[in-house]
């Protein structure tokens, strides 16, 4: 009404109120009445912004890579930024011109400038694997950039999300990588088989060494056993010799004893024979009849036997001899 308006801003917006070409009021989150014909208002957002970017660069081997990332920044000096870019708003708080796009483009240009020289010195494969190095280069380039410093902004972080080659080169790299991986797989299979063969050979060598050691141990045991048998046989031989010597000694002793006994028996027999001969010598020339008479044997049968003997001796002189049955019967009964 009559050109007097009311406007209000939030706490994240820095407001600069110009009246008649001079700064009348400035600060964050202001609200005020103003006279529209003589007042101009700039509203600079203070919050942090995420600026996505993507640009192409050429590597040392003349291959194009696409670098995609994001830069986080905030406006640290809004008054300085307001002097370089137009953030004027109308009575409804809408920007008359969108200079935020210019701000973003300037940041992207400085980022690309900081990256370009570094990428030109790398090959394609190195560039694809240099995300962290590119982040560092962009951060250092923006921090050292006079243009960024003049804008009154602060870089919070730089993130590289992807570095990609052209589709044709990606397929070529995939093929090359696939072939290389296949070769590595084949090499791994070969090494695994070779390792298995080596292990099997080691196992066989170990088994062979074990068998040799077992055979050697058996040989040693056999030799020791043979030595034991030889020693045992020698001991048995010595025992047999000792036994034979003992038997010979016993037999010699027995022989000497028998010879001594025989000699003693012979001497005793000779002595007894001499005694008997000496004792019987007086009777040698005596007639047996005389001896029988001297014996004075009173047995009737004995005397009848002597009588019959005398009859037998003089049988040629006897003509007839009569023997009674009673006598024979008596002799036979007595004999029974």
Q: What is the CATH number of the domain that holds 52?
A: 3.30.479.30
CA atoms within 13 A on the CB side of 320: 1
Please provide the DSSP assignment of 52-113 as one string.
EEEEEEE-TTS-EEEEEEEEEEEES-HHHHHHHS--EE-TTS-BSS-THHHHHHHHHHHHHH
How far apart CA 22 and CA 43 sit, in angstroms, is 16
**188 within a domain of the structure (yes/no):** no
pLDDT at 1 over 60: no
**336 within a domain of the structure (yes/no):** no
**Poorest-pLDDT segment among 24-28, 39-43, 267-271:** 267-271
Q: Of the candidates 55, 30, 49, which has an alpha carbon nearest to the alpha carbon of residue 100?
A: 49
Percentages helix, strand, coil for the chain (3-state, rounded to 5) are: 60, 20, 15
Q: Of the candidates 9, 126, 12, 116, which has an alpha carbon nearest to the alpha carbon of residue 61?
A: 126
What pLDDT sits at residue 298?
59
- Residue 65 makes CB contacts below 8 A (sequence gap 6+) with 56, 57, 58, 59, 119, 124, 127, 128, 163, 164, 165
Taking residues 147-163, report their average pLDDT. 89
**271 within a domain of the structure (yes/no):** no
What pLDDT sits at residue 46?
85
**209 within a domain of the structure (yes/no):** no
What is the distance of C-alpha 57 from the center of its chain? 55
**270 within a domain of the structure (yes/no):** no
Q: Of the candidates 83, 79, 99, which has an alpha carbon nearest to the alpha carbon of residue 15?
A: 79
Q: 225-237 pLDDT, tens per residue?
A: 888 888 888 888 8
How far apart CA 259 and CA 33 sit, in angstroms, is 170
| 72 — pLDDT class (breaks 50, 70, 90) | very high
Which range of residues forms the domain containing residue 116? 4-165
**315 within a domain of the structure (yes/no):** no
Which of the pair, 267 or 106, is modelled with greater confidence? 106
pLDDT at 159 over 90: yes
**129 within a domain of the structure (yes/no):** yes
Taking residues 259-263, report their average pLDDT. 82
| 302 — pLDDT class (breaks 50, 70, 90) | low
In this structure, are residues 151 and 76 in contact, taking their beta carbons and an 8 Å threshold?
Answer: no
Q: How many domains does the chain fold into?
A: 1
Percent of the chain with pLDDT over 90: 9
- Residue 260 makes CB contacts below 8 A (sequence gap 6+) with none
Give alpha helix (H) positions in 121-166: 124-128, 131-144, 146-151
pLDDT at 334 over 60: no
What pLDDT sits at residue 331?
67
**28 within a domain of the structure (yes/no):** yes
């Amino acid at each position: 009404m009559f050109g007097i308006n009311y406007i209000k801003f939030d706490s994240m917006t820095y407001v600069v109120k110009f009246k008649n070409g001079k700064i009348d009021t400035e600060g964050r989150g202001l609200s005020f009445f103003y006279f529209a014909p003589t007042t101009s208002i700039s509203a600079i957002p203070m919050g942090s912004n995420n600026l996505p970017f993507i640009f192409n660069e050429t590597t040392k081997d003349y291959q194009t890579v696409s670098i995609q990332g994001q830069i986080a920044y905030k406006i640290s000096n809004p008054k300085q930024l307001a002097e370089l870019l137009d953030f004027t708003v109308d009575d409804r708080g809408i920007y008359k011109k969108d200079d935020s796009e210019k701000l973003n483009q300037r940041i992207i240009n400085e980022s690309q400038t900081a990256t370009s020289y570094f990428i030109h010195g790398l090959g394609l494969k190195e560039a694809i694997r240099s995300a962290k190095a590119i982040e560092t280069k962009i951060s250092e380039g923006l921090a050292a950039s006079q243009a960024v410093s003049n804008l009154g902004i602060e870089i919070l972080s730089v993130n590289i999300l992807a570095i990609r080659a052209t589709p044709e080169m990606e397929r070529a790299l995939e093929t090359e990588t696939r072939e290389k991986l296949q070769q590595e797989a084949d090499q791994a299979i070969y090494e695994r088989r070779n390792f298995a063969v080596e292990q099997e050979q080691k196992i066989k060598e170990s088994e062979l060494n074990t068998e040799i050691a077992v055979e050697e141990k058996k040989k040693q045991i056999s030799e020791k056993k043979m030595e034991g048998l030889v020693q045992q046989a020698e001991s048995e031989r010595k025992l047999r010799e000792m036994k034979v010597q003992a038997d010979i000694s016993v037999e010699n002793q027995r022989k000497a004893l028998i010879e001594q006994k025989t000699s003693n028996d012979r001497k005793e027999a000779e002595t007894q024979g001499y005694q008997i001969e000496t004792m019987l010598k007086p009777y040698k020339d005596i007639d047996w009849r005389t001896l029988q008479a001297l014996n004075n044997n009173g047995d009737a049968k004995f005397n009848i036997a002597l009588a019959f003997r005398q009859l037998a001796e003089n049988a040629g002189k006897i003509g007839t001899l009569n023997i009674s049955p009673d006598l024979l019967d008596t002799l036979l009964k007595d004999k029974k």
